[in-house]
Structure formats: structure tokens, C-alpha cells
A and B are shown apart, each in its own frame.
Chain A
């Protein structure tokens, strides 16, 4: 906040400098990865940058190495990643919006317990759950190969989504809490059912909340590696990178290209959503 306009520039510059210095390793490391994807060998020490587009061409053509015939379909892998991400986003958004509303507006027995449970669950070690979840998975896995693949997608989305739900429900509840009762009352007085009120009045008002929840759920699904490698039969970009590091035949800059490809949507998506979110907020606030 520019609190006073006569403040000396010096202190501001000092703060900026400190933050920049702290950010250097991170910026450097990421930049080198992106650079490597455009180089013949991995750019890790600022000297070995030999520009080429070869990696990207190979990546999209599915060639895994300069020699050799190992083929990989990067489009399919990316699509798998997308399916997981969208699935998680959709699931979490729907469940948390419904549950958030219920906890905010409806008084039912055990309400307090549910809320406490949600908070405690969030503190629960995911790693402890994953074992039991996996067991269930193994026990319920269908035998038919096609069905198996479909089921693994389904399961990954459910399992990963379940991890995000406690926090998301809490978040949505907060958004619903912030809306004054009068809005719903006037709707109900006008004769609308609870569901109509929810759909026509509440949802538009909590749009920034829904966007935030969907955004973070999508990112969770897109970035995941643990659940995907544990449950999913197909590959996503995460498992693709995992399985190819330092293996005999893989050409690392190519993997760097895959990594950059994997990273890019995150940044783009986040920047777009940021802008929309900020617009949603600045409606009621003045600096």
C-alpha cells in the first residue's frame, strides 16, 4: 500500500531488492528448465545453451530419443492430465458448493460434528488414508481391461477430489455466510423454492468463491503425481516425467520440453483466473 506519497523511494527499493534476491533461485531454476527445452543439451550452467527446436518437434511427433523407435503420444498423455484435472475440479466444485450452502444455511442434527470433522479431516495425514483407499481400489477393480482403465480414472478423480473437499467446503461455507439473509428471504417470500433460491440468487453472488474453489481444485488435479501414479493405469504428464528421468534412452531436453508443456497451462490458467477473480472482488472495494 502506498500509504504516504512523500515517502522516500529508498525504503521501497530496498524491499523490492530483498524480495528479488530471495526469488532468484526459483526464477533461475525454472527459467533454465524452459531454456533447456529449446537446447540440444540440458542448460544447467548457463554455458551449454545450444538453441534448437528439435526437442519440441520430437515431443509432438512422439519420438522419445534421437535414435530408437520408442514412441510416445504426448497428446494423449496431456489429455489424460486434463481429464484428471477437470474431473477433480468439477467434483470438488459441485460437492463443496452444495455442502457449503447446507452448512451455512440449514440447521440439521450433527451439523456441528460435521464441521469439526471437516476440519479434523483436513489435518489427517493423506498418506495414512491412501493405503486404505488403495486397498478398496484393489478389491473393487473390475477385470475387464477397458473397464479397468475407466475405473482407474474414476477412482483417481474421486480420491484426489476427496482430499480437497474439506477445505473447499469450508471456503464455500465462508462465502455463503457472507451473504445477508435478506436475499434469500425475499426470494422465498416471492414464492421461490429453496432450490430456485439457491440457483438464481445465491450462486451468482458466490461466483468468486466458486471460481476460487474450481481453480484450486483444477490445479490440484493437474499437478498431482502421487495419486496418479498410485491409481491411474494410463500416464499423465507427471508420471511421464517420473518414468523418464535419467533412463538410458531418454533425451533430457525432451523431458524438459515435456516439463515446460506441463508447466505452461498452470501459469496461463492461473493468470487468467487471477484477473477474473480480482474483477469480481473490486466491485465492492475501493483502495
Chain B
């Protein structure tokens, strides 16, 4: 029913005058994959999406859909569906007219149109809203209409630009799951832009982390979370984010301030100044790095204890039943660490 396409981006660079929005991005998106483009605002992720869509033309580099070079093709020849952050529904057209618009442009027969619209609206559960106008719909409903409009022409690729950011928090989580289900059911290749790392972790098959126009890491949510290849990736993913401390590695021992802890086997041969990364959930309180309790935030089942180590703040997740006072001296033992080169900030 829907052709499933593999996307390959080769050395994509995009410049707007003097400003380099994207720098040498190489990325492959598999057939039927849900790929999230994750990054902070201004990182270039939306620019990359628009290049895949055909709205922007890369200054350098080429794009392939399934081995076909589409770099110079306009959007309509690429058969992509695009869902905007603010949905961009035509305000003067009814929901039905909004959805049929792409089909009318392709001169599809009226009977066909009706059938396809029925199919898509049923799938998105909006079949009873066809006569309404966008201003009469809630945010969540408008979003479904936008998705329906993108899907009705049976695109090869579904592109979504932060589609959930205009919804309230509760709705967002609900729609997240539905979107993922829909994508899997249709088996369509999807590229999803977001700045919300939780969203990316929850929905994507693979995540591409982008910062300042550069691709920092591509991997499954697990890979990105457990084995970040760049300090930024480690610090961006996870809530609360990864802790970073300066340390010195030598012969299997890691020295942080006055304390020392043993290094895991894979880092035995590392020598010199390093950045030590570890997640708040991966810390035991007991033996190890010296620190002083700075603040405590109770979350019910758990608590976030902020500990000051050599002047740096470190967050630790602890079960809620332990008691901590400001100024308590504690010792932290990270169970899992990632070392980063001090200068390049890449993982060792």
C-alpha cells in the first residue's frame, strides 16, 4: 500500500549567507524506521528535515531516496508528507477540504478521494469532524487532521517537525504512544524532529543527536543513553542529566579531587586528565568520592540529592526512605562511568 523508502543523506551542508546551519551530515535512515532528529533549539534539525522534504536545497551534498538522487527534486516529486509544528491547516477550508487538498492537486478521481479520506480519517479517529473548521477543533484534533492530510496521499516518507510541542503535557504523552503505533502499523519511514529527549527516547527506533549543525551520534535509544560518544550527548539525554566531574586517570585508578575510585576494565590503559560522566541513577552512596550534601528534593518514591564535589554539583537519585541533611558528608560510588577526553569531549 505505501512504498517504503530508505533515505541516505550524504555530506549535507547548508549555508544561509554566512551562517552555516548544517555541516557535513552523513545519515542513513532505514526502511520503515522511526528516526528522531534530536537537538537543542537552533541546532539545525528542522533545517535538515526541510532539506529531506525538498523545501531547502543543500549547499553541498546529496540526498537519495532508495538510490534515486532527489536532491534537485521539488517536494511534490518526492512524495513526502510533512506535519508542521503549528499544523498549518488552511483556516478557510473544512477538515474534509483540508485533507482532500493534496489529492485534488494530483487530480485523483472523486470516488477515490472519498475512499482514501474515509480510510485515513478512520485510522486517526477523526471521521466525525469532517465538516468542522480548524478553529472549531482542539489542539489534539487539529494535529490529527494535519497528520491525516500528510498521510492521505500515501507518501513514501512521513516528516514531522516537533508536532507535539503545541499540545499540553498530558495530551503529549498520550499522542506519543499513538503516533508510534500508527507508524509501526503503516510501516512508513518516519523522520521526527524534537528537542525533547524524553520524547525521542520513547518513540524512536534510532536517534540522531545534532548540535550546531553537526551530527554527534546516531544510535538506538539504549546506545545513546548508555554509551554516549560525546559529552554533550550524555548531558542532553536523560533526566536528570548526566553528571560530569574532572578527574585524572592512571593505571586503573581514577582520582577525583582527594578521592580515588577504581576504573572499570575497559579504561585500564587510559592515562591523563579526563571528564568523568555518570548518571544520577547509577550512583551508590557509601564508599568512594567525597562530597557534601547541598540540597535535597523529595519526589515521593525517590529523592534527588545534590552533592557538592570539589565545587561541582552532582545529582544523585536515592530511594526516598533515606534521610539526608544539608552539609552531610557523603561518599559516592558511580556504578557505571563513561570517560570523555578533556579537550575534545568525545568518549574515550
Task: Answer whether A and B touch in the complex at a CB cut-off of 8 Å.
Answer: yes
Chain B 73-94 near chain A by CB (<8 Å), digits 1 or 0 = 1110000000000000000000
Kindly state whether residue B57 has any CB partner on chain A within 8 Å: yes
Taking CB as reference atom, which chain B residue is nearest A4? B55
CB within 8 Å of A: which of B44-80? Answer: 54-57, 72-75
**Whole-angstrom distance between the Cβ of B53 and the nearest chain A Cβ:** 9
A140 at the interface (CB under 8 A from B): no
- Measured CB to CB, the closest approach of chain A to B184, in angstroms, equals 30
Q: How many residues of B contact A (CB 8 A)?
A: 8
Q: Among the listed stretches A5-13, A73-81, A170-178, which one makes contact with chain B, having 4 or more residues with CB under 8 Å of it?
A: A5-13
Q: A179 CB to closest chain B CB, in angstroms?
A: 27
In the complex, the chain A residue whose C-beta lies closest to that of B56 is A5
**Minimum C-beta distance from A125 to chain B (A):** 36
Give the size range of A's interface with the partner.
under 10
Most chain B Cβ neighbours within 10 Å, of A3, A4, A7, A8: A4
**Once bound together, how far apart are the Cα atoms of A4 and B74, in whole Å?**
8
Name the distance in Å between B289's Cβ and chain A's nearest Cβ.
Answer: 47
Q: How long is the Cα–Cα vector from A6 to B72 in the complex, in angstroms? A: 6
Classify the secondary structure of B's interface with A. Answer: loop
Chain B residues closer than 8 Å to A8, beta-carbon distance? 74
User: Which B residues touch A5, using CB under 8 A?
Assistant: 55-57
A4 CB contacts on chain B under 8 angstroms: 54-56, 74-75
State the CA gap A114–B57 with chains docked (Å).
54
Residues of the A chain whose Cβ atoms lie less than 8 Å from the Cβ of B75? 4, 6
Q: Chain A 1-45 against B: per-residue CB contact (8 Å), 1 yes, 0 no?
A: 001111110000000000000000000000000000000000000
In the bound assembly, the distance between CA atoms of A6 and B75 in angstroms comes to 8
**Residue of A at shortest CB range from B74?**
A6
A3–B55 Cα distance when bound, in Å, is 8
Could you say which residues of chain B place their CB within 8 Å of the CB of A6? 54-55, 57, 72-75
**With a CB–CB cut-off of 8 A, which chain A residues contact B74?**
4, 6-8
Identify the interface centre among A5, A6, A7: most chain B CB within 10 Å of its CB.
A6
How far does the Cβ of B210 sit from chain A's closest Cβ, in whole Å?
20
Chain A residue at minimal CB-CB distance from B53: A4
Report the Cα distance A3→B57, complex, angstroms: 12
Residues in A neighbouring B56, C-beta threshold 8 A: 4-5
Binary interface encoding of chain B residues 168-183 relative to chain A, with 1 for a CB under 8 A from any of its CBs, else 0: 0000000000000000
Q: What is B's interface to A at a CB cutoff of 8 Å?
A: 54-57, 72-75
14 residue pairs A–B, Cβ–Cβ below 8 Å = A3-B55, A4-B55, A4-B74, A4-B75, A5-B55, A5-B56, A6-B54, A6-B55, A6-B72, A6-B73, A6-B74, A6-B75, A7-B74, A8-B74
- What are the 9 A-B residue pairs with the smallest beta carbon separation, nearest first? A5-B57, A6-B74, A4-B55, A6-B54, A5-B56, A6-B57, A7-B74, A6-B72, A6-B73
Add 7 more A-B contacts to A4-B55, A5-B56, A6-B73 (CB < 8 A): A4-B54, A4-B56, A4-B75, A6-B55, A6-B57, A6-B75, A8-B74
